[in-house]
Amino acid sequence: MATNDVFTDALSRLEQIGKDVDIDPEAIAALQQPRAMLTASVPLRMDDGSMRYLTAYRCRYNDARGPTKGGIRYHPDVSRAEIQALALWMTLKCAVVGIPYGGGKGGVVVDPKALSPMELERLSRGYMRAMADFVGPETDIPAPDVYTNARIMGWMADEYETIHRRNTPGVITGKPIALGGSLGRDEATGRGAFLVIRRYAERAGLEPEKTRVAVQGFGNAGYHVARLLQEAGYKIVAASDSKGAIYSPDGFGLYHQKQETRKLEGVYCDGSVCELVDHERITNEELLELDVDLLVPAALEGVIHEGNAGRIRAKTIAEVANGPVEASADETLRERGIVVLPDVLVNAGGVTVSYFEWVQNRQGMAWTLEEVRSRLEARMFDAFDAMWAEFDGQGRTARAAAYTVALRRIEEALLAGGDHAYFSGGQR
């Protein structure tokens, strides 16, 4: 891991890429700190009657292009720096896919696997009570992220509506279908990533049957991208979750298993890699260094860094997780000819279908699954093509190309909202 915290790391990359692109320095300056950050202490009554106080965050990073948007994470390692970095990346991501949102993010410092379902519900409602004046369908719209899901979004939407005494489905996305959720939201991040990989494969001449893939993380994002890649003929040779990784050089099928030993049975997603047969057990670190064609980190940030970048053997990395490659590793990977398809493009399918959900809620409409999927495909291909136009033959990394697309769009919105040329006699 780098010595910098993840937010400092994210800012250093932004500055570096910003220098190489002709962007107004005021646009870069506007992205160097969050517009607003709320830190709260959420009281949680435990099942045994005791009381705990948990640190919770919500960040509205930048709203130049629309209300801020971003998930809520429950994890013991959540920190202020992590939430700010994730919210900055959301700002860039919404601009890359051209949806009318800024970036936000939230989180609670907690080990959710140690909570009972009732404790988890009380925590989720408590989080929304703490944030009820900070979020809203026209200000800041949360969604699921690591260890939160549709059921948790449903509890939060219900709490918000109880506080505000009106039906407001557009306050949160990734909800259960019965509460105004969108068809196709559960698979959207994985499907969006799959579409980006497919488009890249067409451009780079990769043949699915000859492409060996390792997937780190088997949650909402990792499971669906692995499933779709496998259905398209790609060979999944390794997969992992927080308990470890499995590897089979000839590839294997992926099974869906209920995590029956967990207290949170039925609350969290049920994909796990534990029951796979005919495999070798390896560590998560070993998985990253396998000799594969495509590496898909889909768990947490910072897993590829200065320390292991020189040992990565994959030819292409598709960042399904947010921030799996640290800025310190960018140059080593570039020098070694490894193409990194960046998170702000690859995992943008989730927020894109969240946007579709919000649009449906505001219109009182419900689209068919086919409609959601075809609109997602059009958005992802447009975003990929915009990135590719900057990437192809320009000597830039794919990340720099995607950042360029995003920064231009953010710059345009910022300047349209008040151009400093007015105050400097037309001079920039």
Give the binding site for ligand NAD (CB under 6 A): 144-147, 189, 216-222, 240-242, 269, 284, 298-300, 320-322, 347, 350
Closest CB to ligand NAD among 147 and 194? Answer: 147
Q: Are strands 339-341 and 51-62 parallel, antiparallel or unpaired?
A: unpaired
Closest CB to ligand NAD among 9 and 145? Answer: 145
Q: Are strands 68-75 and 140-144 parallel, antiparallel or unpaired?
A: parallel
Q: CB 10 → ligand NAD: shortest distance, Å?
A: 13
Q: CB 96 → ligand NAD: shortest distance, Å?
A: 12
Closest CB to ligand NAD among 226 and 400? Answer: 226
Residue 343 CA to residue 392 CA, distance in Å, equals: 18
* Active site annotation includes 105: yes
Q: CB 377 → ligand NAD: shortest distance, Å?
A: 17
- State the angle between helix axes of 6-20 and 398-416 in degrees (0 to 180), rounded to the nearest 10: 80
Q: CB 343 → ligand NAD: shortest distance, Å?
A: 7
Residue 247 CA to residue 192 CA, distance in Å, equals: 25
Closest CB to ligand NAD among 87 and 135? Answer: 87
| From 19, 69, 93, 105, active-site residue | 105
% helix, strand, coil for the chain, step of 5: 45, 20, 40
Residue 55 CA to residue 123 CA, distance in Å, equals: 11
Residue 391 CA to residue 99 CA, distance in Å, equals: 21
Closest CB to ligand NAD among 191 and 396? Answer: 191
Q: CB 299 → ligand NAD: shortest distance, Å?
A: 3
Asked if residues 97 and 379 have their Cβ atoms less than 8 Å apart, the reply is: yes
**DSSP for 169-184?**
GGG-SS--GGGTPPTT
Catalytic residues: 105
